[in-house]
Amino acid sequence: MSESVPEIPRLELLAEAPLPTSFGTFRVVVFRYRDPSAHPDLSDEHLALVLGDVNGAESVPVRVHSECLTSEVFGSLKCDCKQQLEAAQAIIERSGRGVLLYLRQEGRGIGLVNKIKAYALQAEGADTIEANERLHLPVDARHYDVAAEMLHTLGVQSVELITNNPEKQSALTRLGISVVGRIPVQIAANPHSESYLSVKRDRMHHWLPRVIPLSKH
């Protein structure tokens, strides 16, 4: 009689440590999530930045944030990802507790190479949706199962979601996360990001103002 092979957990906690930041000292927790449907170029390691005691807590400010190397590392002006990341950390700091989930879903889940290919098409005049469609890629390939699993593991009972994205809120609700409120994050546009934010508002139905003020820089 053959021995049964132990089932490998889909979500695995790998490491955690204090992480001092400009927004206070968070606890950084690294998870591995096995998702066979994810793009093969994406990392399966995701992070949670936790401030305060959230185990068993309700109405916890939570940001579910997708990786954006070009903005967060190189200062790209084509999007507002870095500013949203920092705004979410500031909101959590002011609240005295919260969770920032940093998901390794570069390029809305299509991977870095495809994201740069999309950038090239955008330079020729395509908007962000048209560029993905011309590459025969999903407009948004992200999944939020990992976020739901991470929140359950951290013991969060209900969240106030820091987002402008209605699909993100709906997805988490479908996955069993109790979303009891929403905290908007509105970043002023610059000349390079104005089209990107307009597409989010008009074609992806994000909760953004009709007129987004342009930055002088």
**What averages of pLDDT result for each successive group of 10 residues across the chain (217 residues)?**
59 97 97 90 95 98 97 96 97 98 96 96 94 94 95 98 94 96 92 87 81 45
Question: What pLDDT does 210 receive?
Answer: 64
Question: What pLDDT does 198 receive?
Answer: 86
Tokens in use for 48?
């949670």
Residue 59, sorted as left (phi over 0), alpha (psi -120 to 50) or beta, turns out to be left
What pTM was computed for the model?
0.90
Question: What pLDDT does 68 receive?
Answer: 97
Closest listed residue to residue 30, CA positions, set 42, 41, 19: 19
**CATH architecture designation of domain 11-106+145-202:** 3-Layer(aba) Sandwich (3.40)
Q: How many other C-beta atoms are found inside a 10 Å radius of the C-beta of residue 139?
A: 16
Question: What pLDDT does 216 receive?
Answer: 43
Which residues does 63 contact at the CB level (< 8 Å), separation at least 6?
84, 85, 88, 89, 91, 92, 98, 99, 100, 101, 161, 162, 163
Q: What is the total residue count of the chain? A: 217
User: Could you tell me the sign of the dihedral formed by the alpha carbons of 171, 166, 137, 45, in that order?
Assistant: negative
Question: What pLDDT does 3 receive?
Answer: 55
- Asked whether the beta carbons of 87 and 185 are under 8 A apart, the reply is yes
Hey, which residues are catalytic here?
A: 140, 142
Tokens in use for 47?
């992070």
Q: Phi, psi (5° rounding) for residue 51? A: -120, 125
As to burial, measured by CB atoms within 10 angstroms (0-12 exposed, 13-18 middle, 19+ buried), residue 186 is: middle
